[in-house]
């Protein structure tokens, strides 16, 4: 199958599982970009259900080819920042990072984003990893029996991501003025991820900007907490874990670059 045939094959299976979306899907343009966006939207909408082997085989072929087309940025190749030899800054798409683990800013259900093609990092990571990620998260949450508390972390496989694992953490949602409790919970997210990475013998972790954006944590304060918490963990534990601060927005890039003393040319994604 060529790429468009793969996309249509996967859409057909998802519409068999989700027949309530057939009429909407029929109205979509048949060009490749529109069909790919439809596929992503249906994958986002699909609840945890038994996974079909024929679907996964084609899905994995498609996602691996897309991963190769985007290009993988190896975490080990990123230069250290002036602030510390185990810390790096990189601006770009976190789903391109070939780290032992990338961090996902999740919600308390821990099942990924169900809003079709939403722009959040939770949606991006689940969309690039494939449906296996939601399935594993569902099994974790069923065994846990309650929503994921703020400030903790869970480890899953990375599936079709270049990262071997995903660390899922729920950051604080800021409602009104920033509280000390919010700051402590955000720091707990970073410590929980770092501790879990160390426990599993991982050598590199890439953090997104936890709790900023949708969760309304002030970007400047979030960046300061992130860097201080990571620096403190590495110093106190003597860990040789490499930590990448991954940013997407220019605002966050400027904040982290000032905090870390990163070199502009070596810490930005290729155009």
Whether 170 and 234 map to the same domain: the answer is yes
Closest by Cα among 223, 151, 162, 142 to 194: 151
pLDDT (average), residues 65-87: 96
Residues 39 and 152 grouped into a single domain: no
**Are 216 and 186 in a shared domain?**
yes
Q: Are 61 and 180 part of one and the same domain?
A: no
Assess if residue 29 is contained within a domain.
yes
- 188 close to 181: Cβ distance less than 8 angstroms: no
193-232 confidence digits (pLDDT tens): 999 999 999 999 999 999 998 899 999 999 999 999 999 9
Question: Residues 112, 17: one domain?
Answer: no
In a domain, 271, yes or no: no
CA nearest to 253, candidates 243, 264, 237:
264
Above 60 in pLDDT, residue 68? yes
Largest Cα span, the chain: 58
- 265 lies in a domain? no
Instruction: Give the Cα separation of 133 and 131 in Å (integer).
Output: 5
- Top-confidence residue, 189 or 266: 189
Residues constituting the chain: 271
Q: Judge whether 269 lies within some domain.
A: no
Mean pLDDT of the 231-250 span: 96
Whether pLDDT at 61 is above 50: yes
110 shares a domain with 11? no
Q: Which two tokens stand for residue 83?
A: 């602030």
- Please tell me the predicted confidence (pLDDT) of residue 271: 41
**Cβ-proximal residues to 53 (8 Å cutoff; 6+ apart), any chain:** none
Q: 168 and 216 share a domain?
A: yes
Give pLDDT tens digits for 243-262.
999 999 999 999 999 999 87
Whether 167 and 174 have beta carbons less than 8 Å apart is answered as no
- Residue 266, in any domain of the structure: no
pLDDT of residue 213: 85
Q: Which domain holds residue 206?
A: 72-260
pLDDT for 263: 72
Domain shared by 14 and 100, yes or no: no
Query: Tens digit of pLDDT for each residue in 172-189?
Result: 999 999 999 999 999 999
pLDDT band at 269 (very low <50, low <70, confident <90, very high): low
Read off the pLDDT of residues 82-99 as tens digits, 9 standing for 90 and up. Answer: 999 999 999 999 999 999
Cα 205 versus chain centre, distance: 12
pLDDT of 105 > 60? The answer is yes
- What average pLDDT does this structure show over 20-44? 96
Whether 227 and 113 map to the same domain: the answer is yes
Confidence of residue 265 (pLDDT cuts 50, 70, 90): low
Query: Residue 83: inside a domain, yes or no?
Result: yes
Give residue 214's pLDDT.
85
Looking at the structure, do residues 12 and 62 belong to the same domain, yes or no?
yes
The structural domain count of the chain equals 2
* Of 68, 83, 111, the domain-final residue: 68
Domain endpoint, select from 53, 68, 83: 68
């Amino acid at each position: 199958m060529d790429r468009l045939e793969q996309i249509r094959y996967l859409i057909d299976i998802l519409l068999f599982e989700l027949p309530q979306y057939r009429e909407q899907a029929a109205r979509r343009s048949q060009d490749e970009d529109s069909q790919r966006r439809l596929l992503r939207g249906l994958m986002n909408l699909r609840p945890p259900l038994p996974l079909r082997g024929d679907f996964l085989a084609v899905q994995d072929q498609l996602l691996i080819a897309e991963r190769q087309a985007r290009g993988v940025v190896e975490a080990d190749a990123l230069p250290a920042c002036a602030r510390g030899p185990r810390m790096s800054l990189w601006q770009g798409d976190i789903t391109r990072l070939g780290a032992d683990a990338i961090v996902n800013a999740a919600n308390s259900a821990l099942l990924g984003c169900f809003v079709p093609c939403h722009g959040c990092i939770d949606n991006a990571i689940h969309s690039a990893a494939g449906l296996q990620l939601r399935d594993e998260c569902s099994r974790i949450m069923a065994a846990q029996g309650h929503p994921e508390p703020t400030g903790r972390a869970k480890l899953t496989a990375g599936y079709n991501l270049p990262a071997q694992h995903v660390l899922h953490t729920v950051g604080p949602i800021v409602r009104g003025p920033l509280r000390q409790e919010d700051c402590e919970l955000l720091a707990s997210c970073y410590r929980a991820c770092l501790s879990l990475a160390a426990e599993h013998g991982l050598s590199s972790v890439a953090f997104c900007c936890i709790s900023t954006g949708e969760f309304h944590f002030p970007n400047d304060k979030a960046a300061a907490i992130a860097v201080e918490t990571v620096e403190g963990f590495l110093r106190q534990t003597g860990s040789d874990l490499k930590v990448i601060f991954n940013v997407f927005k220019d605002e966050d890039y400027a904040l982290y670059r000032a905090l870390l003393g990163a070199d502009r040319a070596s810490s930005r994604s290729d155009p």
